[in-house]
Structure 1
Amino acid sequence: MHWRAKGVLQKVLGHVPGGERAHYLLQRRFGGLRDFRREFDIKMDDWRLMAGHLQAAGRPIAGARLFEIGSGWYPTFPFACYLGGARQVITVDLNRHIKPELVRDCAQHLARHVALIAEACGVPEDDVRQRQQQLAARLRQGDDVGIATDGVVRYEAPADASRTALPGQQVDCVFSNSVLEHVLPDVVDGIYREAMRILAPGGIMFHSVNCGDHYAYVDRRINQLNYLQYSDRQWRQWDNAFLYQNRMRAYEFVDRAVEAGFDIVLNTECPREKRLAELANMKVHPQFAHIPAERLCVTSIDFIGRKRAQAAS
């Protein structure tokens, strides 16, 4: 599908009654959700990487109090954290996107990843398997996410991650996966400020950001730097409620975290030769011309910011 056509279609669906439902059905029939197993396994690989980063930063998932930004259609990360022994996982979304049928599928597919979760979290495999079987059974009988996880996972939507009702200094880790690239820049700053408030001293904020042009996943004629050819005014023709992309570069997410008071303890920003070559063969819009090529070309980043132990809430 041509990327411009998809952008226009999604823009239209974002402004008509029933558009959200129609968008979901199109994703199930033609989009990323048509092969749920593949989509789910990709998310679990992302979760595995996050679990490793948290472990290396001294904040293992087992026993942790976690706050996820961007629940999506099904709660892969919260469920995996629950199976791995998290104390609490609060997951929030600005809009209520969660789909019961996908939640059940998610719980069922976790059975294939029991050993991975146990290893990543350092907990007994039998405990993970028992929790997974209980979770899947309870969801099948109609329990909601909270009841099915004995209150460990709490889903809240609509909810604003930049203005929560949580008490200060009560969370060990705030995290997101492929979310911040879809948030207005000012809201990113608000999310960071709120994370600083709710994190306990020494707590961490982990974000995995996919800051490449997402239309490249549906149109192989373009690459993930495609959207850098357009001004903000031009890009608004294809930006839409279902696939808003802020076009912030990887380093900007980290710089804004530093400005919010976080100490950066992980930063995977790395220019790839492939992206540098793609950038050299395209005409970048002047609004991006001030950014060095080795920073402009980066299309993904994982980073961790730590709240100082002596920092105030």
Structure 2
Amino acid sequence: MHWRAKGVLQKVLGHVPGGEQAHYLLQRRFGGLRGFRREFDVKMDDWRLMVGHLRDVGRPIAGARLFEVGSGWYPTFPFACYLGGARQVVTVDLNRHIRPALVRNCAANLARYTALIAEACGIPESDVRQRQQGLLARLERGDDVGVASEGVVVYEAPADAARTRLDGQQVDCVFSNSVLEHVLPEAIDGIYREAMRILAPGGIMFHSVNCGDHYAYVDGSINQLNYLQYSDREWRRWDNAFLYQNRMRAYEFVERAAAAGFDIVLNTECAREKRLAELASMQVHPQFAHIPPERLCVTSIDFIGRKPGTVSA
């Protein structure tokens, strides 16, 4: 599908009655929700990488109090953390996207990952398997996410990650996966400030950001730097409520976190030769001309910011 056509279609659906349901059905029939298993496997690989990063900085999943920004269509990360022994996982979203059928499918597919979760979290696989079987059984009898996860996963939507109802200093880790690239820049600053408030001293904030042009996933004629050819005014023709892209570069997410007071302890920013070559072959809009090519071309980043202070027991 041509990327401009998708942009226009999504823009129209964002302004008509029933547009959200129509968008969901199109995603199930033609989009990212069509191949659930493949999409789920990608998410679980992302979860594995996140857990490895958290472990490296001294924050294991078992016993942790977690807060997820952006729940999405189904709670892969919260459920995997629950199986891994998390104490609590609060997950919030601006819109209530999750669907019972997708949630059940998510829980069922986790049966293929009990060994991985056990190894990543340092707990017996028998414990993970028992939780997974119980989770699925409760979901199949009609329980909601909270009851099915024995009160560990708390799903709140609509909810604003920049204005939570949580008490201060009550969370060990705030995280997101492929979310911040879809958030208004000023709202990102608000999310960082709220993370600083709710994190316990020494707590960490982990974000994995996919900051390339997402239209490249549906149109093979363009690459992930395509949207850098357009001004903000031009880009608004195709930006829309279902696939808003802020076009922030990877380093900007990290710099804003540092400005919010976080100590950056992980930054995977890396200029890849393929992206540098793609950038050199295209006409970048002047509004991006001040950014060095080795920073402009980066389309993904993982980073961790730590709240200053001593980690409490």
TM-score range, shorter-chain basis?
Answer: over 0.9
AA of the residue aligned to 1:82: Y
Shift of 1:20: 0.5
2:72 and 2:15 mapped to 1: Cα distance? 20
SS in 1 for 2:67: strand
Give matches, 1:57-68, under 5 Å. Answer: 57-68=57-68
In the alignment, does 2:82 pair up with 1:82? yes
Amino acid at match of 1:12: V
The equivalences for 1:1-313 within 5 A come to: 1-309=1-309
Structure 2 counterpart SS, 1:40: helix
1:46-98 Cα offsets, whole Å, 9 max, x none, are: 00000000000100000000000000110000000000000000000001001
Q: Give the match's secondary structure for 1:154.
A: strand
Residue 165 of structure 1 deviates from its aligned partner by: 1.1
Cα deviation, 1:238-282, whole Å, max 9, x if unaligned, reads 000000000000000000000000000000000000000000000
Instruction: For 2:155, give the aligned amino acid.
Output: Y
Following TM superposition, where does structure 1 have runs of at least 4 consecutive aligned residues deviating by more than 6 angstroms?
A: none
- What is the CA–CA distance in structure 2 between the aligned matches of 1:20 and 1:62, rounded to whole Å? 36
1:195-222: CA deviation from partner (whole Å, max 9, x where unpaired): 0000000000000000000000000000
Q: Which amino acid aligns with 1:102?
A: L
Output one character per residue of 1:141-197: Cα deviation in whole Å (capped at 9) or x when no partner: 000000001100000000000011110000000000000000000000000000000
Unaligned runs of 5+ in 1: none
CA distance in structure 1 between the aligned counterparts of 2:159 and 2:58, rounded to whole angstroms: 29
Distance in 1, matches of 2:9 and 2:133, equals: 40
Measure the CA separation in 2 of the matches of 1:200 and 1:155: 21
Identical pairs, percent: 85
* TM superposition score normalised by structure 2: 0.99
Output the amino acid matched with 1:164: T
Q: How many residues align?
A: 311
- Letter of the 1:220 counterpart: G
Structure 2: segments with no counterpart, 5+ residues: none
Letter of the 2:205 counterpart:
M
The two structures have a TM-score, normalised by structure 1, of: 0.99
- The alignment partner of 2:33 has SS state of helix
- The alignment partner of 1:45 has SS state of helix
**2:250 maps to amino acid:** A
CA distance in 1: counterparts of 2:209 and 2:41, whole angstroms: 18
1:120 Cα deviation after fit: 0.4
Structure 2 counterpart of 1:40, which letter? F
Rounded Cα–Cα distance in structure 1 between residues aligned with 2:298 and 2:279: 10
What amino acid maps onto 2:94 in structure 1? L
Q: In structure 2, what residue type is equivalent to 1:197?
A: R
SS in 2 for 1:203: strand
Q: CA deviation at 1:310?
A: 5.9
Aligned-CA RMSD value: 0.7
| 2:171 aligned partner, one-letter code | V
Q: Which amino acid aligns with 1:208?
A: S
